[in-house]
Homo-oligomer: A and B are copies of this chain.
Amino acid sequence: MSRATDSAQPLRLGIAGLGTVGIGVVKIVQRHAAMLAARSGRPVTITAVSARDRTKNRDADLSDYAWETDPVALATREDVDVFVELMGGHEGPAKEATEAALKAGKDVVTANKALLAHHGQALAELAESLGRTIRYEAAVAGGIPVIKSLTEGLAGNGMRRVMGVMNGTCNYILTRMEEAGLPYDTVFEEARQLGYLEADPNLDVGGIDAGHKLAILAAIAFGTQVSFDDVVLEGIGRISIDDIRRAGDMGYKIKLLGVAQMTGRGLEQRMTPCLVPSSSPLGQLSGGTNMVVLEGDSVGQIVLRGAGAGEGPTASAVMGDVMDLARGMRLPVFGQPAASLATPTPAVTAIAAPYYLRLQLSDKPGALAKVATVLGEAGVSISRMRQYGHADTAAPVLIVTHKTTRDAIDAAISALPATRVVEGEPVAIRIEEL
Contacts and interface: CB of A to CB of B under 8 A. Distances in A.
Interface string A300-328: 11111111001011011111101110010
A118 B293 CA distance: 34
A32 interface: yes
Interface residues of A, number: 59
Given A143-B299, A143-B300, A156 B306 contact: no
A271 B322 CA distance: 33
A322 B316 CA distance: 26
Nearest to A143: B299
* Residue from A36, A298, A323, A330 whose CB has the most chain B CB atoms within 10 Å: A298
B313 A156 contact: no
A158 interface: yes
A137 interface: yes
Interface in A24-77: 24, 28, 31-32, 35-36, 38-41
B302 A303 contact: no
A142 to B, nearest CB: 8
A3 to B, nearest CB: 18
Interface stretch (A144-152, A171-179, A209-217, A345-353): A144-152
A153 interface: yes
A296 interface: yes
Contacts of A301: 306-307
Nearest to A44: B156
Nearest to A145: B153
By Cβ-Cβ distance, the 9 closest A-B pairs, closest first, are A156-B319, A145-B153, A299-B316, A155-B323, A143-B299, A298-B316, A298-B312, A329-B329, A303-B305
27 contacts: A31-B158, A35-B158, A36-B155, A38-B223, A38-B337, A39-B335, A40-B155, A143-B298, A145-B149, A145-B302, A148-B153, A152-B320, A154-B316, A156-B318, A156-B320, A281-B281, A298-B312, A298-B315, A298-B319, A299-B313, A300-B306, A300-B310, A300-B313, A301-B307, A302-B306, A303-B303, A304-B305
